[in-house]
Chains A and B, each alone.
Chain A
Amino acid sequence: MNRLFEENPFGAPDPDFRPPLAGPPAPRRKPRRGPSRSVLLMGAFVGGFLLLGGRMAMVAWPEDGTAQASPAATGSAGGGSSVLAQAAARDELLPRLRADLQDRSGRILATSLPIYDIYADRARILDPAETATRLAEVARTDPVALQQRLTQAPRGTITIMRSATPAQLQQIHDMGLPGIYGAGRLTRFYPEGRLAAHVLGGVNAEQRGVGGVELGLDAYIRDPAQVDKPIPLSIDVRVQAGLESALREARARFAAYGAAGVIMDARTGEIIAMASIPDFDPNHRPSPLALKPNEDSALDPLFDRAAQGSYEMGSVFKIFTAAAALESGMVDLSTILDARNPIYRAGHRITDYRGPNRMVTLTEGVMFSSNLALGRLATMIGHEHMSEFLRKLGFYERVPLQYPTASLAMPQTPRNWGPLELITVGYGHGISVSPLHVVAAAATLVNGGCRVRATLVRLEAPPPCERVVDPEVSVAARGLMRLVVQYTTGRNAEVKGYEMGGKTGTALKAIKGGYSQRERIANFLTIFPAHDPKYVAIVSLDDPKVIEGKERNLSPTAGRTAAPAMKDVIERIAPLLGLAPDVAGEWKAEQIVGARFGGLKYRP
């Protein structure tokens, strides 16, 4: 600036001269090279889209040959914790809450079927009158009342019909009425009807078991992880049907109050069939009867006489007394017992009903079912041996069945073993157990001595043998039971060719204050084939009477009532169990029993 003033203080202004505004002179703008801002921006977008597209292609490209659907398609949003989400994950329309139950061959015993609740959204109904009229046809209700509900109820949803079938839902859907919806759910269905009613039990409205296996295995059936796998029970539907129809006919033939039967595999303990008549339809399970305290609980059809009822089994028990005696080592099959003189104990007099009335061997005592002989035998061995043997056979605890505990009979054994208790238990009147107890104990006794635990679930392999009874005692018991069927009270039960062994038992029913004078429980226990039993069965008739035939009005002993009923049962079911009759191959009792215990000794 100083220089400029010195050269020409008042000269002509320079045309290129611009007075400086402020600061240093502005730098010359350089020529631009490289991409412009718009190009950069576009490049950024291209990069972004390529990145996005590339990533999408990577995700959508099939890996390992399988297409990966997005999470939205499978519907398991949010971890899949809701029931609907689980149902959707299992490819099901409606959430399944209970697993199917099948019989041992895969036939369906209990399954789930869709059912719909029809409801209306009041806000969306256009014409309540027409809606009510048309819906009332399907719902089978009063159209006027329905119209009133549709118009006057507070806003919200109104249930029009519960438990509509899919066909009814389709009918309502085809009407095209706005505001009417159906909510689906699965309900429990028992296709076999009344068959195995007590075994299956039933469910309530919330799909929870209320009896039988449905309640006993409820936690397992409702387990969401197992709900797709059907549970095989040990029941065989054909054998169950044969047993039930035979029991119904026997109940009618002998005018009995009720009947019960159990058929069990002697080695594994699987219950092939278990029935209690009268029964019910588990599809419409009745509510329990309100009984007065002194009324018989067996009036209720829900009462399971086979597993729940507790009765004194009578002479059927004599086989266990004899086995206990042989197991103790104190007696032989030829031990002589007094069956002539009555027993007087603790103010009671015990006699035989048409007994042998002489000195008998142990064999004959069981054959002729002598109370005196077996009572004295029990006294000979003492209560320690007796109670220990009964404990080993499972008579001191509930049968470990897949049933609710409240439905299983608790055996009533003597609290204090006095001399009278020992005698009465010896001939079968001092201990109250269920028919299922007797069958399980008989299976334990005759299968070689392996402890049998009753099960309603099919076993894939036989359980390991837990030896509780000497195998030779088991063989002796088989021979004794074969004798009863060959010669004495079991003759009416014999089906030729199946080598049946058995034992009858008639017990007076215990009512309040003592025993009834007339009412009886008639039982027949059978094993077949006797030399190597595969099956054990029992039939129990509640208060039978002989009303037909030449034995009419005679005393209804088990040999006249339960034994023919058992014959009927075996004729129906033995071919279904895969057994063909082999008349010439039947073993006699002497061929079954070996030389141990001296061999069977009886007067034929």
Chain B
Amino acid sequence: MRRALTLLTALALMLAASYAHRVKIETRELEKRVGAMTAEVKQRRAAVATLNAEWAYLNRPERLLRLAAVYGEEMELKPRRPDAFAHLDEIPIPGGRLISRAPAPLDLSDLDAAIMGALNPEAPVSAAEAPPAEPAFPDYEEVVTEPEFVGEGVGEGWAEGALDPYAAALVESQALPPPTRSGPVAGTAPQAAPFAFQPPMAGGQPQAAPQGYAPPPGAGFSPTPAVYAPAYAPAPASAPPSPTGYALPPGAVIVPAPGGSPVAYPSAPAGFAPPAPYNGAAPTPLPAAMSAPQPVFAPDQAPPPRIEIWEPLP
């Protein structure tokens, strides 16, 4: 009994000692691992800090300007300048292609003659009843011809010598003086809304002018049942103002100009009411010297309205 107890105790002693030793060894191993990992974390953090500094150094503006000067043309880089901004409604419809020209307007003053003329197209019409001669604008014909398209894609492959309709459209738009805020002809009441652009129907038929449409007085031209391209209709006084002053097609999405500052905060301090913004309906009256009339269309030099029908390519 005594011997068993002695042996048991000795065994227990050996087990306890070996357990304690094992725990110590394992702890030492763990400590080594933790130390190694800590050292690696520190090295990685130092490497990250150095890489951040190097990234900032490689992105410094003077180096980027130097690289842009050397490679800018090749990469077609352009500086972000004020002249690089445009508004959505200043862009002609991409891929549009001129397909037809609206016919001469029907003269409904003499209904009988009109019916006879429509029923007998070859019948000779007397000079008094002949439809009025078309206005002689020599460049008008050129614009109406369909340019040759030799390539694929929008704006690509126009044949040399063919007229680029976009360029003609832009040139024409810049020939118009900018509209004033008080209406097409200053000093008069704002006009009723002229015929607004609507997308062409299937088949590309021209659209008739709405009932009761009359040309603005003093305009010097007779608008045919025209389909105005959106870039050329003067802004109606009741429509919301677009930033460039030209009419927007109904249903167009007005992309607001990015006028917000990158720091957003309440702009009106407490107790301060800023002057009411200009909403186009009731302009502040200008002093007499400022409101010299600027006619949009001088009587004899009115450019004709454009009568193209733009159809987006499939």
Task: List residues of chain A with CB under 8 Å of any chain B CB.
Answer: 35-36, 38-39, 42-43, 45-46, 49-50, 52-53, 56-57, 60, 67, 69-70, 72-74, 88, 91-94, 107-108, 111-114, 166, 189, 191-195, 237-238, 241, 245, 265, 267-268, 270, 447-450, 461-462, 465, 467, 471, 475, 495-498, 531-532, 534-535, 571-572, 574-585, 587-588, 590-592, 594, 603-604
A461 with B265: CB separation less than 8 A: yes
**Additional pairs, 17, CB under 8 Å, beyond known A60-B26, A448-B274:** A38-B6, A53-B20, A53-B23, A56-B20, A67-B30, A88-B42, A93-B46, A107-B59, A191-B53, A237-B61, A241-B61, A268-B265, A571-B81, A579-B258, A581-B82, A591-B275, A604-B290
B56 with A191: CB separation less than 8 A: yes
Q: Which residue of B lies closest to A603 (CB)?
A: B289
B35 with A73: CB separation less than 8 A: yes
B60 with A91: CB separation less than 8 A: no
A467: chain B residues at CB < 8 Å are 269, 271
A396 to B137 Cα, complex, angstroms: 70
B65 with A594: CB separation less than 8 A: no
Quick one: which of A73, A166, A535 contacts B38, CB cutoff 8 A? A73
Quick one: which of A57, A575, A603 contacts B23, CB cutoff 8 A? A57
A110 to B50 Cα, complex, angstroms: 12
With both chains docked as a complex, state the minimum distance between the C-beta of B156 and any C-beta of chain A, in angstroms. 29
Quick one: which of A91, A92, A498, A604 contacts B82, CB cutoff 8 A? A498
B9 with A585: CB separation less than 8 A: no
With both chains docked as a complex, state the minimum distance between the C-beta of B46 and any C-beta of chain A, in angstroms. 5
Most buried by A among B42, B65, B262: B262
Interface residues on B, range: 35 or more
A72 with B31: CB separation less than 8 A: yes
Contact A195 B16, CB 8 Å, known A73-B38, A604-B289: no
Quick one: which of A42, A192, A531, A579 contacts B56, CB cutoff 8 A? A192
Task: List residues of chain B with CB under 8 Å of any chain A CB.
Answer: 2, 5-6, 9-10, 12-13, 16-17, 19-20, 23-24, 26-27, 30-31, 34-35, 38, 41-43, 45-46, 49-50, 52-54, 56-57, 59-62, 65, 79-82, 84-85, 178, 241-245, 257-263, 265-272, 274-275, 278, 284, 286-287, 289-290
Contact A532 B260, CB 8 Å, known A42-B13, A56-B27, A93-B42: no
A108 with B56: CB separation less than 8 A: yes
B45: chain A residues at CB < 8 Å are 91-93
Q: Which residue of A lies closest to B32 (CB)?
A: A73
B46 with A94: CB separation less than 8 A: yes
Q: Which residue of B lies closest to A245 (CB)?
A: B65
Most buried by A among B10, B42, B49, B290: B49
Between A and B, 24 residue pairs with Cβ closer than 8 Å are A35-B2, A39-B6, A49-B16, A53-B23, A56-B20, A57-B23, A91-B42, A108-B52, A191-B60, A193-B62, A268-B263, A448-B274, A462-B265, A462-B266, A497-B85, A531-B275, A578-B260, A581-B82, A581-B85, A584-B244, A585-B257, A590-B286, A594-B275, A604-B290
